[in-house]
Amino acid sequence: MSGSGIAPPLSAVRLVYTVGLLVALDCSFGFNGAFYPLLHRSFPPVRGLRVPARFSVIVGLTLSIFAGFGARRILGWCRSRINQRAAIAVLTVLIAIDAWPALPLVPVWKEPPPIYETLKARPDVVLAEFPADENPVFNTPFMYFSAWHWRPIVNGYSGYIPESYVAVIPDLVEFPRGDSVAALRRRGVTHVTVNCGLQRNVCKETMTLMGHSPGLRLITEARWEGEPVQLFELTGD
């Protein structure tokens, strides 16, 4: 229906909306577009926009306006009131089908690993959680678990990835190999967890290495989702 609203002949108002649609569409590609890099250099307020892809909201809004123009055009083609009512009914059904929500739900755990109970009496704790992955989305479960213990965590997830997190990724991925234990201690980490219920193969190797690391002391362990989970404290060794 938006297409029928964009189709010529274009009035001055629809021409302005068309230009706005094209600009918003190009800006939604961020630095991969043609206009946004220029806007970013010459118009400082744009630099405060964290996610350029959100220009797609303006794209959707403009398309809905064109849909209104298109609906008026289609209704103008109907010569009788009966045909207009039939057209309104068809358009309403099509809109309902197009707007029908498709939200796949993923079940989450009702309880976190029991090792976090130990942290509730320790307000000075700063956590790093394992297994670790270079993809920050992998940290989403750890943020979910933090709703039970409310202690700071090093590896979280957000739409914005600061340079400090980029710098710590190598230590997280390599942990506990090399100098990674001391590197995390220098960053203020006091405790680490390892959860084989999230990534079994890599986790068990990490858990074995952590058990033999002189810079780590096992505090507690349990089972969760049928797999072992452990909580370690970073020592001064």
In a domain, 144, yes or no: yes
**pLDDT tens for residues 158-199?**
877 788 888 888 888 888 888 888 888 888 899 999 999 887
- Considering the domain architecture, whether residues 157 and 210 belong to the same structural domain is answered as yes
Q: What is the pLDDT of residue 5?
A: 64
Residues 194, 204: Cα–Cα separation, whole Å = 9
Over the Cα atoms of the chain, what is R_g? 27
Rounded to the nearest 10 degrees, the angle between the axes of helix 81-98 and helix 56-77 is 160
152 φψ region: left (φ > 0), alpha (ψ -120 to 50), beta (else): beta
**pLDDT tens for residues 106-125?**
888 999 999 999 888 888 89
Containing domain of residue 68, as a range? 2-98
Distances (CA, A) of 10 to 14, 66, 90, 99, 175: 6, 11, 25, 27, 62
- Considering the domain architecture, whether residues 228 and 132 belong to the same structural domain is answered as yes
Measured CA angle at 130 (ends 124, 132), to 5 deg: 120
In a domain, 109, yes or no: no
End-to-end CA distance of the chain: 69
- Considering the domain architecture, whether residues 89 and 182 belong to the same structural domain is answered as no
In a domain, 124, yes or no: yes
pLDDT grade for 141, boundaries at 50, 70 and 90:
very high
**pLDDT tens for residues 17-42?**
888 889 899 988 888 888 888 888 88
